[in-house]
Amino acid sequence: MLAVKISDVSKVYGEKKVVDGVSFEVDSGEIFALIGPNGAGKTTTIRMMMDIIKPDSGDILIMGQHLGEGSKNCIGYLPEERGLYRKLRIMDTIVYMASLKGAPVETAVARAENLLKKFGLYEHRYKKIEELSKGMGQLIQFVVTVAHDPGLIILDEPFAGLDPVNSRLLKDTIKDLRAEGKAIILSTHRMNEVQEMCDRLFMINKGQRVLYGALNDIRRQFRSNSVVVESEQALPSLSGVSGVESKNHTSILKLDGSTTPQSVLAQLVAAQVPVERFEVSLPSLDDIFVQVVKKP
């Protein structure tokens, strides 16, 4: 099912079109990254999906519905600016927030208890939020975000401030939610996390779309003609290779325009070089991000 369908959406502040004719779709059962440099229009786009601000033009459908109370209840939103009532107890907060979203108390409690156990926070469930550390508070806010069982989950920098163990726990939980069929939108500046977790992405720059599609297709689209070779033995001179960068038994070979990775591999085999790794190298999303943003 299409969880989000955004068609030609624009938003103007003063003279500036901060979101400019943006269209994208997010499917149930996928992790979708919404990325872009500071001030690109990500938060504005999310706020329009949440019906917090109205677009000046264009159309937004959430779970097939136009924006309204119904669509809002289908969404779990973890904003970048966190904030829970510090004096309230954890379980009371979870139940109260889920009831605002129209969820049955038993469903919310059952889901929340499961997650609290996963995060090792179950024993703290009757504590006040103010008694928790910042990272623990953040995990609680994630539980609050998903306790009402939303079909669409929007997470803005969910890993900021988490230690590596909790980060891993949260990543696994997000992947479990994908397996349950939830649509997940992840907005983050950490490209390694996007690369690790996301199926597809949308990159916005100056309010406009600059990248949209499957992560692997985008990486292939930006691939330079080079291969990575790992070998204990020094590499012989190879025809069709215009440059070699070597470090710790690993070499990046830049190939001439017409040379294929297969022809390089064939030469290595013919020369009986013991190859431990041979890989057509793909650029990291971090490199692609910088390249796209720098483009004049």
Ligand X SMILES: Nc1ncnc2c1ncn2[C@@H]1O[C@H](COP(=O)(O)OP(=O)(O)OP(=O)(O)O)[C@@H](O)[C@H]1O
Q: Which residues of the chain form contacts with ligand X (CB under 6 A)?
A: 13, 18, 36, 38-44
177 CB-contact burial (10 Å; exposed 0-12 / middle 13-18 / buried 19+):
buried
Output the smallest distance, CB 13 to ligand X, in A.
4
Output the smallest distance, CB 101 to ligand X, in A.
24
Output the smallest distance, CB 210 to ligand X, in A.
12
Which residue has 């539980």 as its token pair? 143
Phi, psi of 244 (to 5 degrees): -135, 130
Residues 6+ apart with CB under 8 A from 289: 35, 191, 203
Output the smallest distance, CB 235 to ligand X, in A.
43
Output the smallest distance, CB 217 to ligand X, in A.
23
CB-wise, 81 or 123, nearer to ligand X? 81
Residues 6+ apart with CB under 8 A from 97: 144, 147, 148
**C-beta separation of 30 from 181 below 8 A:** no
Phi-psi region of 239 (alpha: psi -120 to 50; beta: other; left: phi over 0): beta
CB-wise, 128 or 206, nearer to ligand X? 206
Residue among 248, 203, 241 at smallest CA distance from 222: 203
CB-wise, 41 or 261, nearer to ligand X? 41
CB-wise, 43 or 145, nearer to ligand X? 43
Q: How far apart are CA 63 and CA 61, in angstroms?
A: 6
Q: How far apart are CA 166 and CA 135, in angstroms?
A: 8
CB-wise, 87 or 294, nearer to ligand X? 294
CB-wise, 80 or 92, nearer to ligand X? 80
The per-residue DSSP string of 256-280 comes to PTT--HHHHHHHHHHTT---SEEEE
Output the smallest distance, CB 167 to ligand X, in A.
20
Output the smallest distance, CB 176 to ligand X, in A.
27
CB-wise, 42 or 125, nearer to ligand X? 42
Q: Return the number of other C-beta atoms located less than 10 Å from residue 185's C-beta.
A: 26
Q: Do the bridges between strand 200-205 and strand 31-35 make them parallel or antiparallel, or are there none, so unpaired?
A: parallel
CB-wise, 38 or 258, nearer to ligand X? 38
Q: How far apart are CA 191 and CA 293, in angstroms?
A: 14
Output the smallest distance, CB 28 to ligand X, in A.
24
